[in-house]
Amino acid sequence: MAGHGDAITILVSDPRLRAAADITMPIQKQQTGARRSARVGSPAPAKPRPGHGRTPRADVAAEGFYRDLVWNLRNGVVAVTRDGRIAVMNEVAYRILGLPPKASDIGQPFTHVLKDQPDVLRIVAGAFELSHLPNRAELRLKSTGKVIGYTLSQVRDARGRITGATLFFKDLTRVEQLEERERLRDRLAALGEMAAAIAHEVKNPLAGIEVMAGILKRQLPESEDAQAILRDIIKEAKMANAIVLEVLDFVRPIRLQVERIALADVVRDAISMAESHVPRGNTEVALSLPEGLAPIQGDPHQLRQLFTNLLTNAFEALGGMGRISISAAELAPEEEAATAGDAHAAVPMVQVEVNDDGPGVPADVMDRIFSPFFTTKPQGSGLGLAIVRKIVDAHDGRIDVSAREQRGTRFRVTLPVSGTHQLFR
């Protein structure tokens, strides 16, 4: 609607926006004055704009149409007048920006309404200052981490004077995740070929070292120093071999053996498996898994590995002290669509959250946490969370990580009740 000078006048006639009706009066008076001067012989006005000369009933129908158009757009819309007051802000805009909808926002200064979104505030403020307005630009909101694509336009009246500005934007978080997934797949394709070749070449010598160290250990039973050294050699060889096997698991394509499973059973099995990898100590594990949770179509072995890796990381971070909470819930199709920012994602989902109160993940490494071979541990392959991401992707799901309000980390795994894969018979 940018470029139509009376667009703001039409929109604020909505009863929900009536508080801003006085904003449009100067524009209406200018147009009325122009028509009056034409009748008394002043120079011919500009060419009539579309819509002039309609009946009152047609005007009412047009206003209703434009009102419904704005409020039913799948994009966020924020319109401000030349004096910096909010004229239009639809429900999608509130939801994407994470702001509570308020009818009283209409007519308020946009600096007040958008004060909790300084990035958006800066963009809108530039609408009357920049010579070239951004079109199809992207921005990551610092407050929510969402990525939006936006276009900023000026609103002009019949004489070409700027009367306001509009910001149109869309939540691109889901799109960015899909693009990042494709980029990751491309990188892994090349990396996988190299890693598989190296792993196969390294695995056999490691096995030989472990076997020969075991033979030598049995031949020197009386030498305590030799026994200690050989134990270390065997331990390190086993650790290196485990890393090699993990690399092979990571680069090997996942072939899901899909069946209908209960996620609650998978999570309980994963807790036991994680305890066998890392001592649990005094760490408390709290479960909130509803009995009536919908079963999903998935590979039980892969999903057990997914949650085992998450819990192993949590046990290591807590060091035998602290608390881990695991909860699950079903998401309605419309709720999932709103969460994903994609109307096409309207399918039933099950969401599992794994929260711990450990030291948390530093903000500067949060974006790299799922990258292959990236780790903050003194020892480790850096493949645990990369494998988790790979399993989630294979199940057409999503995984998000965030810092908790106080301390600790929250992993949120969202899986479809029924994916595009076929049940294993």
Q: What is the pLDDT of residues 1-38, one digit of tens each?
A: 444 434 333 344 344 334 343 433 343 343 344 334 33
Q: What is the largest CA-CA distance in the chain?
A: 120
Q: Number of structural domains, the chain? A: 3
Would you say residue 217 has pLDDT above 90? no
Task: Based on the fold, state whether residues 180 and 165 are members of the same structural domain.
Answer: no
Cα angle: 98, vertex 8, 42; to 5 degrees:
160
Better-predicted residue by pLDDT, 250 or 395 = 395
The 8-class DSSP code of residue 98 comes to T
- Asked, for residue 70, whether it belongs to a domain, the answer is yes
Give residue 31's pLDDT: 38
Residue 253: other Cβ atoms inside 10 A: 7
Give yes or no: residues 205 and 311 share one domain: no
Same-domain check for residues 19 and 68: yes
Provide the domain limits for residue 415: 256-425
Tell me the pLDDT tens digit for each residue of 162-216: 899 999 998 888 777 777 767 766 776 676 677 777 777 787 888 888 888 888 8
Q: Which among 125, 145, 171 is the end of a domain?
A: 171
- The residue that leads in pLDDT, 301 or 247, is 301
Residue among 415, 205, 391, 425 nearest 330 (CA): 415
Q: Kindly state whether residues 277 and 231 are assigned to the same domain.
A: no
- Claim to verify: residue 76 and residue 195 sit in the same structural domain: no
CATH number at residue 183: 1.10.287
Same domain assignment for residues 273 and 190: no
Say whether both 286 and 348 belong to one domain: yes
Stretch 264-293: mean pLDDT: 90
* Amino acid at the residue 367: D
Record the pTM.
0.50
**66 vs 285: which has the higher pLDDT:** 285
pLDDT digits (tens, 9 = 90+) for 233-244: 988 888 888 777
Domain assignment present for residue 1? The answer is no
35, with CB counted inside 10 A (0-12, 13-18, 19+), is exposed
Same domain for 220 and 86: no
Predicted local distance difference test score (pLDDT) of residue 368: 80
Length, in residues, of the chain? 425
404 and 274 share one domain = yes
By the 8 A CB rule, do 227 and 220 touch? yes
Establish if 350 belongs to a structural domain: yes
| 162 within domain boundaries | yes
Query: Which of 131-135, 182-186, 208-212, 251-255 has maximum average pLDDT?
Result: 208-212
Do 193 and 97 share a domain, yes or no? no
**What are the residues whose beta carbons fall under 8 Å from the beta carbon of 250, sequence distance 6 or more?**
192, 195, 372, 383, 386, 387, 390
pLDDT at residue 406, as a whole number = 64
CATH of the domain at 385: 3.30.565.10
pLDDT band at 333 (very low <50, low <70, confident <90, very high): low
Per-residue pLDDT at 342 exceeds 60 = no
Domain containing residue 11: CATH number: 3.30.450.20
Q: Is residue 203 part of a domain?
A: yes
261 with 299, same domain?
A: yes
- The answer to the question of residue 306 being in a domain is yes
* 2 is a domain residue: no
Please tell me the least confidently modeled range out of 226-235, 295-304, 341-350, 400-409: 341-350
Residue 31 falls within a domain, yes or no? yes
| Domain end among 211, 226, 253 | 253
Domain end point (choices 223, 253, 283):
253
The Cα angle at residue 395 between residues 296 and 177, in degrees rounded to 5? 130
Q: Which residue has the higher pLDDT, 390 or 143?
A: 390
- Residue 52 confidence (pLDDT): 53
Residues 237, 360, single domain; the answer is no
